[in-house]
Amino acid sequence: MNRHFSFRAAAAALLCAAAVLTAAVLPAGAISPSDKPEVEKIIREYLLANPEILRDAMMELQRREAEAESKERAAAVKTHEKLIFDSPRGVVVGNRQGDVTVVEFFDYNCGYCKRALEDMMTIMKADPKIKFVLKEFPVLGPGSIEAAQVAVAVRMQDKDGKKYLDFHQRLLASRGQADGAKARAAAKDAGVDMAQLERDLKSDEIKATLVESHRLADALGINGTPSYIIGGDVVPGAVGADKLRGHIASVRKCGQAVC
């Protein structure tokens, strides 16, 4: 757990405990400056004798914060669902008419995204009704931005997503840091028209696509890769194929990633 969060949470828990205990010891309006030392002593002695109250209060605080964050993200997904699921700037792979859509924000220099690629391919192979939408979200430096720009240019000349998926797999599977040069090499190996790609790299569409992804990520509270949107929920991290399949099954059952 983050040390800063632990301190903040513990302090908040202590304040909550103090408020509860103060209310229990003295009725409202009964505390005066002269009462304060005695009240503080009672609270201190109680907490020392019952330290588990801090643990319980901190756990409850974390639960409430997670619940509030989940609700905020769900509301943001609802607000931006058209851009999230149906933007022409997203790359669709799998079944375009699939009954469940999984959206992934990724970075070509994200090691966990390589694992996420394997998860996606495994799921698509076994589930002919699944639709994946890929959104470039370069957050790991200049090389990531260059690679994402080339990826957008690949998408611009590949309407069915087949060459893009080939390019995507090649670049994520390559060793070392992804950048513009490696992305161009992957595009060439995938059979992309390189002259057209260079022309498209000068298009306003390149910047517009990446700006759209970053604005969506900001609205959804996404700050790392991979991050998924399944149903109306944001699922952060490389959670693995089994967990993704579980979320997909839940969407089919109740319309949410977790029923």
**Tens digit of each residue's pLDDT (9 = 90 or more) over 192-213:** 999 999 999 999 999 999 999 9
Asked whether residue 129 falls in the same domain as residue 195, the answer is yes
| pLDDT of the residue at 3 | 40
| pLDDT of the residue at 7 | 46
Q: Is residue 259, in this structure, part of any structural domain at all?
A: no
CB of 149 within 8 A of CB of 206?
Answer: yes
The better pLDDT of the pair 43, 224 is held by 224
Residue 200 belongs to what domain range?
82-254
Length of the chain: 259
Asked whether residue 107 falls in the same domain as residue 45, the answer is no
| Average of per-residue pLDDT across 161-178 | 94
Q: What percent of the chain stands above pLDDT 90?
A: 63
Q: Is residue 36, in this structure, part of any structural domain at all?
A: yes
Asked whether residue 69 falls in the same domain as residue 96, the answer is no
Asked whether residue 87 falls in the same domain as residue 201, the answer is yes
Asked whether residue 108 falls in the same domain as residue 68, the answer is no
| Average of per-residue pLDDT across 137-160 | 96
Least confident of 29-33, 155-159, 166-170: 29-33
Strand pairing category for 130-136 and 100-106: parallel
What predicted TM-score, i.e. pTM, was given to this entire model? 0.75
Residues 18-36 pLDDT 10s: 555 544 444 545 557 777 7
Q: Is residue 204, in this structure, part of any structural domain at all?
A: yes
Amino acid at 81: E
Strands (E) across the chain are located at 91-94, 100-106, 130-136, 227-230, 233-236
Cα distance between residue 105 and residue 215, in whole Å: 12
Q: Is the pLDDT of residue 176 over 80?
A: yes
CATH for 178: 3.40.30.10
Cα distance between residue 143 and residue 200, in whole Å: 19
Q: Give 5's pLDDT tier (boundaries 50, 70, 90).
A: very low
